Amino acid sequence: MGSDGIQELTMPKWGLSMTHGKVVEWLVPEGAEVSAGTEVLEVETEKIVGCVESSAAGTLRRHVAKLGQDVPIGGLLAVIANPSVSNAEIDRFVESFSLEEASDDSVSDDPAPEFVEARGRRLRYLKLGEGGQPVVLVHGFTGSLDNWLFNHAALAQQRAVYALDLPGHGQSSKDVGDGSLEMLIGALQDWLDVLGLSRVHLVGHSLGGAVVLGMALRSPDRVRSCTLIASAALGPEIDAEYIEGVVEANRRKELKTYLARLFADPSRVTRQLADDMLKFKRLDGVRDALGKLARNFVANEKQVAVFRKELERLRSPTQVIWGENDQIIPSSHAADLPDQISVELLANCGHMVQMESAHKVNQLVLSFLEKTDERFVTT
């Protein structure tokens, strides 16, 4: 935070490989009011386009970065201050802002992913934040811990938040055993055991939602709460062509058309995003692993595992979040759930709702976690 109530808005770091971002569009003009969480500008990285949110309340006094400019992580994007602060003071602030300091900070405490061996499988995870009731983020089919690049740091401000690469995914072991959902649930439990996490909040996206739900049904005492985002296992419908296509596609162009279905706004799929998926798919063993997982996940164009009937006996507090324009798993699966499950539908979002509406999803998860923790304290 700057002096005299002047606050800087700097380039965030989304994901492990980001080094800089390009300013695409200002969403808030100079002179307008912002509050914490207001989406101020759109930034494009090599991989994805995302929104930078205001960290403070006040007047957006200055667009410091130019449209199209490449700004390194920690570089100054904008200045927020009250109207009482003079332009001269803002000039001085911009001039004295030292990128060196800012970027050194962000580099030195850059957390790196770690690996553990859990029942013969090497699993990769990234831990951010400390303390509180820990949270574990579980990605979906063909995903990795990078799927949480807009969420992980925001959720980890007050507590430890882990993001895991499931077996067959990211940089975890490509051994998926029989490829069943039970295997994935077992692997999550093994990993929790190795890390000594006895009871956690679980957040699962898509296939990861089915893993989280399965875990909560199997071992309710290990699960403090469930957040299910565009989750599998809540109904039979799924875009089976997508699942098959994303496993089979071996060319960038072809893969890109499938990946576009993940977003309400397909322009979010950059070439780099498709290239990264190709790089992952070309690792030895990945194709087999994904094929096995896919056959256990979808058969006859329907989801194999549907836990709808079991939801009544779900003991962990649960919330469901869905993008209204989800083309992979329809948001209608969020309808008619038991009363104790809270449901949030987000407009103009597709399957990757935690990327497309990161701020709203982060707010929903944080307030749900707080509420759940309070309930545990009082009872």
Residues in the site for another protein, rule: CB under 8 A? 16-17, 112, 171, 174, 250-253, 271, 279, 282-285
Integer CA distances (angstroms), 144 to 15, 207, 312, in order: 11, 12, 30
CB atoms within 10 A of CB 20: 17
Nearer to another protein, 73 or 232 (CB): 73
Pairing assessment for the beta strands 76-81 and 49-53 based on DSSP bridges: unpaired
> In the bound complex, what is the minimum distance in angstroms from residue 274's beta carbon to another protein?
10
Bridge partner residues of 237 (DSSP): 302
> In the bound complex, what is the minimum distance in angstroms from residue 199's beta carbon to another protein?
32
Nearer to another protein, 36 or 67 (CB): 67
CB atoms within 10 A of CB 313: 9
Contact assessment for residue 28 and residue 41, using Cβ atoms and an 8 Å cutoff: yes
- Distant-in-sequence, close-in-space partners of 95: CB < 8 Å, separation ≥ 6: none
Nearer to another protein, 112 or 377 (CB): 112
> In the bound complex, what is the minimum distance in angstroms from residue 284's beta carbon to another protein?
4
CA–CA dist 338, 306 (Å, integer)? 15
CA–CA dist 148, 366 (Å, integer)? 14
> In the bound complex, what is the minimum distance in angstroms from residue 249's beta carbon to another protein?
12
Nearer to another protein, 119 or 279 (CB): 279
Nearer to another protein, 119 or 252 (CB): 252
**H or E segment to which residue 256 belongs:** helix 252-259
Backbone angles phi, psi at 178, to 5 degrees: -85, 0
Nearer to another protein, 16 or 306 (CB): 16
> In the bound complex, what is the minimum distance in angstroms from residue 376's beta carbon to another protein?
38
> In the bound complex, what is the minimum distance in angstroms from residue 237's beta carbon to another protein?
33
> In the bound complex, what is the minimum distance in angstroms from residue 251's beta carbon to another protein?
7
CA–CA dist 188, 84 (Å, integer)? 53
Nearer to another protein, 88 or 112 (CB): 112
Tokens standing for 234?
């809540």
Nearer to another protein, 229 or 274 (CB): 274
**H or E segment to which residue 154 belongs:** helix 152-155
> In the bound complex, what is the minimum distance in angstroms from residue 226's beta carbon to another protein?
32
| Residue where the block lists tokens 């799929």 | 269
